[in-house]
Amino acid sequence: MPDSPSPPEHSRLKATHALREILPDPPAEVALAEHLQSCLDQEAILALYPRFSQGVTVFDHMMRRIIWRSIAKEMGNGVTIGTNVGFKHLETFRIGSNVFIGDSAYLQGRHDGKARIGNGCWIGPQAYLDARDLEFGKDVGWGPGAKTLGSEHVGDPVEEPVIRTDLEIRPVRVETGADIGTNAILLPGVRIGNGAIIGAGAVVTKDVPPFAVATGVPAKVIRMRKGQT
Protein backbone atom coordinates (compact mmCIF):
# COMPACT_ATOMS: atom_id res chain seq x y z
CA MET A 1 0.00 0.00 0.00
CA PRO A 2 1.23 3.51 -0.71
CA ASP A 3 2.24 5.57 2.28
CA SER A 4 -0.45 7.79 3.68
CA PRO A 5 0.18 11.48 3.14
CA SER A 6 1.74 13.22 6.12
CA PRO A 7 -0.60 15.49 8.03
CA PRO A 8 0.08 19.19 7.67
CA GLU A 9 2.36 20.66 10.30
CA HIS A 10 -0.15 23.43 10.91
CA SER A 11 -3.45 24.71 9.63
CA ARG A 12 -4.86 28.18 9.15
CA LEU A 13 -8.51 28.90 9.83
CA LYS A 14 -10.71 31.93 9.59
CA ALA A 15 -11.42 33.76 12.83
CA THR A 16 -14.88 33.09 14.26
CA HIS A 17 -15.71 35.28 17.26
CA ALA A 18 -14.34 38.51 15.83
CA LEU A 19 -16.22 38.10 12.54
CA ARG A 20 -19.55 37.20 14.07
CA GLU A 21 -22.45 39.43 13.07
CA ILE A 22 -23.86 41.37 15.99
CA LEU A 23 -27.61 40.95 16.19
CA PRO A 24 -29.93 42.73 18.63
CA ASP A 25 -30.83 40.67 21.67
CA PRO A 26 -34.47 39.49 21.66
CA PRO A 27 -36.84 42.24 22.84
CA ALA A 28 -38.36 39.87 25.41
CA GLU A 29 -34.93 39.31 26.95
CA VAL A 30 -34.27 43.03 27.22
CA ALA A 31 -37.75 43.58 28.65
CA LEU A 32 -37.23 40.95 31.34
CA ALA A 33 -33.99 42.64 32.41
CA GLU A 34 -35.84 45.95 32.66
CA HIS A 35 -38.62 44.26 34.63
CA LEU A 36 -36.12 42.86 37.14
CA GLN A 37 -34.64 46.33 37.57
CA SER A 38 -38.07 47.81 38.22
CA CYS A 39 -39.33 45.29 40.76
CA LEU A 40 -36.22 43.97 42.57
CA ASP A 41 -33.30 45.63 44.26
CA GLN A 42 -29.75 44.72 43.31
CA GLU A 43 -29.31 42.27 46.18
CA ALA A 44 -32.41 40.34 45.14
CA ILE A 45 -31.29 40.18 41.52
CA LEU A 46 -27.85 38.93 42.57
CA ALA A 47 -29.52 36.20 44.61
CA LEU A 48 -30.93 34.78 41.35
CA TYR A 49 -27.52 34.37 39.72
CA PRO A 50 -26.39 31.10 41.41
CA ARG A 51 -29.45 29.34 39.96
CA PHE A 52 -28.09 29.85 36.44
CA SER A 53 -24.34 30.37 36.83
CA GLN A 54 -23.37 26.73 36.26
CA GLY A 55 -25.93 25.68 33.66
CA VAL A 56 -25.07 24.98 30.03
CA THR A 57 -28.54 25.18 28.47
CA VAL A 58 -29.70 27.98 26.19
CA PHE A 59 -32.00 29.10 29.00
CA ASP A 60 -29.12 29.32 31.49
CA HIS A 61 -27.07 31.41 29.05
CA MET A 62 -30.04 33.70 28.48
CA MET A 63 -30.68 34.16 32.19
CA ARG A 64 -27.05 35.05 32.82
CA ARG A 65 -27.30 37.76 30.18
CA ILE A 66 -30.56 39.04 31.65
CA ILE A 67 -29.14 39.24 35.16
CA TRP A 68 -25.97 40.95 33.97
CA ARG A 69 -27.94 43.43 31.88
CA SER A 70 -30.16 44.29 34.83
CA ILE A 71 -27.13 45.11 37.03
CA ALA A 72 -24.39 46.45 34.76
CA LYS A 73 -24.16 50.17 34.07
CA GLU A 74 -24.27 49.35 30.37
CA MET A 75 -24.39 46.15 28.31
CA GLY A 76 -24.52 45.60 24.58
CA ASN A 77 -25.94 42.84 22.41
CA GLY A 78 -24.66 39.33 21.81
CA VAL A 79 -22.71 38.96 25.06
CA THR A 80 -21.68 35.40 25.94
CA ILE A 81 -21.13 34.61 29.63
CA GLY A 82 -19.64 31.20 30.36
CA THR A 83 -20.31 28.93 33.30
CA ASN A 84 -19.09 29.82 36.79
CA VAL A 85 -18.16 33.37 35.82
CA GLY A 86 -17.85 35.44 38.97
CA PHE A 87 -17.95 39.18 39.51
CA LYS A 88 -17.91 41.92 42.11
CA HIS A 89 -19.53 45.33 41.69
CA LEU A 90 -20.92 44.55 38.27
CA GLU A 91 -22.89 47.80 38.55
CA THR A 92 -19.67 49.71 37.70
CA PHE A 93 -19.13 47.88 34.37
CA ARG A 94 -19.82 49.06 30.83
CA ILE A 95 -19.76 46.03 28.54
CA GLY A 96 -19.93 46.33 24.78
CA SER A 97 -21.56 44.10 22.18
CA ASN A 98 -20.26 40.70 21.04
CA VAL A 99 -18.15 40.25 24.18
CA PHE A 100 -17.20 36.70 25.15
CA ILE A 101 -16.37 35.84 28.77
CA GLY A 102 -15.08 32.30 29.23
CA ASP A 103 -15.85 29.74 31.92
CA SER A 104 -14.63 30.49 35.47
CA ALA A 105 -13.39 33.99 34.68
CA TYR A 106 -13.61 36.52 37.53
CA LEU A 107 -14.20 40.26 37.14
CA GLN A 108 -13.50 42.23 40.31
CA GLY A 109 -14.78 45.77 40.31
CA ARG A 110 -14.95 48.28 43.14
CA HIS A 111 -17.92 50.28 44.41
CA ASP A 112 -16.31 53.57 43.33
CA GLY A 113 -14.43 52.14 40.35
CA LYS A 114 -14.95 52.10 36.61
CA ALA A 115 -14.55 49.32 34.10
CA ARG A 116 -15.16 49.34 30.36
CA ILE A 117 -14.92 46.34 28.04
CA GLY A 118 -15.20 47.33 24.40
CA ASN A 119 -17.11 45.71 21.56
CA GLY A 120 -15.84 42.38 20.32
CA CYS A 121 -13.53 41.55 23.23
CA TRP A 122 -12.74 37.90 23.94
CA ILE A 123 -11.88 37.05 27.56
CA GLY A 124 -10.63 33.51 28.02
CA PRO A 125 -11.55 30.92 30.64
CA GLN A 126 -10.11 31.39 34.14
CA ALA A 127 -9.10 34.97 33.42
CA TYR A 128 -8.88 37.41 36.31
CA LEU A 129 -9.58 41.11 35.86
CA ASP A 130 -8.88 43.53 38.70
CA ALA A 131 -11.35 45.95 37.18
CA ARG A 132 -11.29 48.82 39.63
CA ASP A 133 -9.94 51.19 36.97
CA LEU A 134 -9.79 49.15 33.78
CA GLU A 135 -10.49 49.85 30.13
CA PHE A 136 -10.34 47.49 27.15
CA GLY A 137 -10.67 48.94 23.67
CA LYS A 138 -12.48 47.11 20.89
CA ASP A 139 -11.52 43.61 19.79
CA VAL A 140 -9.10 42.88 22.62
CA GLY A 141 -8.05 39.25 22.97
CA TRP A 142 -7.43 38.13 26.56
CA GLY A 143 -5.95 34.64 26.80
CA PRO A 144 -7.06 31.87 29.16
CA GLY A 145 -5.72 32.41 32.67
CA ALA A 146 -4.37 35.89 31.91
CA LYS A 147 -4.61 38.37 34.76
CA THR A 148 -4.44 42.07 35.37
CA LEU A 149 -3.77 43.71 38.71
CA GLY A 150 -4.92 47.26 39.18
CA SER A 151 -3.79 47.91 42.73
CA GLU A 152 -0.98 47.27 45.18
CA HIS A 153 -0.16 48.04 48.79
CA VAL A 154 2.36 50.85 49.19
CA GLY A 155 4.36 48.97 51.83
CA ASP A 156 4.94 51.98 54.11
CA PRO A 157 5.52 52.21 56.99
CA VAL A 158 7.83 49.21 56.81
CA GLU A 159 7.12 48.12 60.38
CA GLU A 160 3.53 47.36 59.39
CA PRO A 161 2.48 44.17 57.61
CA VAL A 162 2.25 45.01 53.92
CA ILE A 163 -1.46 44.16 53.73
CA ARG A 164 -2.17 46.79 56.42
CA THR A 165 -0.63 49.60 54.40
CA ASP A 166 -2.55 51.85 52.04
CA LEU A 167 -3.83 50.45 48.76
CA GLU A 168 -2.91 52.37 45.62
CA ILE A 169 -5.20 51.89 42.62
CA ARG A 170 -3.60 52.55 39.26
CA PRO A 171 -5.34 52.43 35.86
CA VAL A 172 -4.76 49.61 33.39
CA ARG A 173 -5.47 50.29 29.72
CA VAL A 174 -5.51 47.76 26.88
CA GLU A 175 -6.03 49.51 23.58
CA THR A 176 -7.99 48.36 20.55
CA GLY A 177 -6.87 45.17 18.84
CA ALA A 178 -4.24 44.18 21.40
CA ASP A 179 -3.82 40.49 22.25
CA ILE A 180 -2.78 39.22 25.67
CA GLY A 181 -1.33 35.70 25.78
CA THR A 182 -2.30 32.78 27.98
CA ASN A 183 -1.32 33.26 31.64
CA ALA A 184 0.21 36.68 31.03
CA ILE A 185 0.04 39.20 33.88
CA LEU A 186 -0.39 42.97 33.60
CA LEU A 187 0.74 44.91 36.67
CA PRO A 188 -0.89 48.14 37.93
CA GLY A 189 -0.53 51.27 35.83
CA VAL A 190 0.45 49.74 32.48
CA ARG A 191 -0.89 50.61 29.04
CA ILE A 192 -0.84 48.10 26.20
CA GLY A 193 -0.82 49.92 22.88
CA ASN A 194 -3.10 49.44 19.93
CA GLY A 195 -2.47 46.13 18.16
CA ALA A 196 0.29 45.01 20.53
CA ILE A 197 0.89 41.33 21.34
CA ILE A 198 1.87 40.11 24.82
CA GLY A 199 3.37 36.64 24.84
CA ALA A 200 2.13 33.73 26.94
CA GLY A 201 3.30 33.90 30.55
CA ALA A 202 4.76 37.40 30.22
CA VAL A 203 4.74 39.77 33.20
CA VAL A 204 4.17 43.33 32.00
CA THR A 205 5.62 45.96 34.33
CA LYS A 206 5.69 48.98 31.99
CA ASP A 207 3.89 50.34 28.96
CA VAL A 208 4.08 48.44 25.66
CA PRO A 209 3.90 50.59 22.50
CA PRO A 210 1.40 50.04 19.69
CA PHE A 211 2.05 47.05 17.41
CA ALA A 212 4.94 45.80 19.55
CA VAL A 213 5.45 42.14 20.49
CA ALA A 214 6.57 41.78 24.13
CA THR A 215 7.53 38.58 25.94
CA GLY A 216 9.33 37.42 29.05
CA VAL A 217 9.57 38.18 32.78
CA PRO A 218 9.65 41.11 32.98
CA ALA A 219 8.21 41.63 29.50
CA LYS A 220 10.45 43.29 26.92
CA VAL A 221 9.71 44.31 23.36
CA ILE A 222 11.35 41.76 21.06
CA ARG A 223 10.12 43.10 17.74
CA MET A 224 7.48 45.16 16.02
CA ARG A 225 4.70 43.51 14.06
CA LYS A 226 5.18 43.17 10.33
CA GLY A 227 4.95 46.47 8.52
CA GLN A 228 5.60 48.51 11.68
CA THR A 229 8.83 50.26 12.65
- Residues with a catalytic annotation lie at 153
3 state DSSP class of 48: helix
Quote the CA–CA distance of 98 and 65 in Å, as a whole number. Answer: 12
Tell me if residue 89 falls in helix, strand or coil: coil
Q: Is 106 exposed, middle or buried (0-12, 13-18, 19+ CB in 10 A)?
A: middle
Angle subtended at Cα 88 by Cα 82 and Cα 90, rounded to the nearest 5 degrees: 75
Question: Quick one: which of 111, 22, 37 has its CA closest to 67?
Answer: 37
Burial string for 182-213 (b: 16+ CB within 10 Å, else e) reads bbbbbbbbbbbbebbbbbebbebeeebebbbb
Q: Is 184 helix (H, G, I), strand (E, B) or coil?
A: coil
What is the Cα gyration radius of the chain? Answer: 20
CA 68 to the chain's CA centroid: 15
